[in-house]
Amino acid sequence: MASHQLDELERLHRPCGCARLCGRYTRGGCAVTLPAHAAICIDCDNCTAFGADQRKPDVIVLWPGSHGARDRWLVVEMKARGTDAGGITRQLQAGADAITAHPLFDIGGQPAEILPIVLHAKGFNTTAADALAANRIRFRGEPIPIVVKRCGFRLR
Ligand SMILES: [Zn+2]
């Protein structure tokens, strides 16, 4: 990925104050580690691309692939506990929809890949985790499987 795309995303979101460089994202005792320090994390709760009452994921990451991996968007939801696989899937879908349609994500020459991730702690309902892993979101017309991992997951 050209660094100007990271710069452009940061510039577009400067008025929100929602974007920052990140190598690791932590929320409510849950964390995900990214193998690149030049990733940009968008904190969706603080982003004007999403309405206050609108469904949204926790964080959207513009991730420049490392070690041969392709550039990707990551859409991440963190749940310590929960049972609502359908609701979480809709939160991830709202993130994918914002990336494809909202002007705040129009950085030109976007990554073609997206990885929706749910990170959960021990208290998460296993039936819901299985249901999530079987669910798909849609991104540019393609069905994309949801990756379900424990908090602390390190992306390679
Ligand atoms: Zn923003």
Of 148, 144, 125, 126, the residue nearest 136 (C-alpha): 144
Q: Please give the distance, rounded to the nearest whole angstrom, from the Cα atom of residue 51 to the centre of ligand 1.
A: 11
Q: Please give the distance, rounded to the nearest whole angstrom, from the Cα atom of residue 97 to the centre of ligand 1.
A: 14
Q: Please give the distance, rounded to the nearest whole angstrom, from the Cα atom of residue 120 to the centre of ligand 1.
A: 25
Q: Please give the distance, rounded to the nearest whole angstrom, from the Cα atom of residue 57 to the centre of ligand 1.
A: 13
pLDDT score recorded for residue 83: 81
Q: Please give the distance, rounded to the nearest whole angstrom, from the Cα atom of residue 44 to the centre of ligand 1.
A: 7
Q: Amino acid identity, residue 135?
A: N
Please report how the helices 85-101 and 126-134 are oriented relative to each other, as an axis angle in degrees rounded to 10: 40
pLDDT score recorded for residue 141: 93
Q: Please give the distance, rounded to the nearest whole angstrom, from the Cα atom of residue 110 to the centre of ligand 1.
A: 17
Q: Mean pLDDT by 10-residue block, N- to C-terminus, for the chain (156 residues)?
A: 82 96 88 83 96 95 78 91 90 97 90 92 88 96 96 89
The residue extents of the domains of the chain are 3-150
Distance CA 154, CA 151 (A): 9
Q: Please give the distance, rounded to the nearest whole angstrom, from the Cα atom of residue 35 to the centre of ligand 1.
A: 23
pLDDT score recorded for residue 67: 67
pLDDT score recorded for residue 146: 97
Q: Please give the distance, rounded to the nearest whole angstrom, from the Cα atom of residue 130 to the centre of ligand 1.
A: 31
Q: What pTM value is reported for the model?
A: 0.93
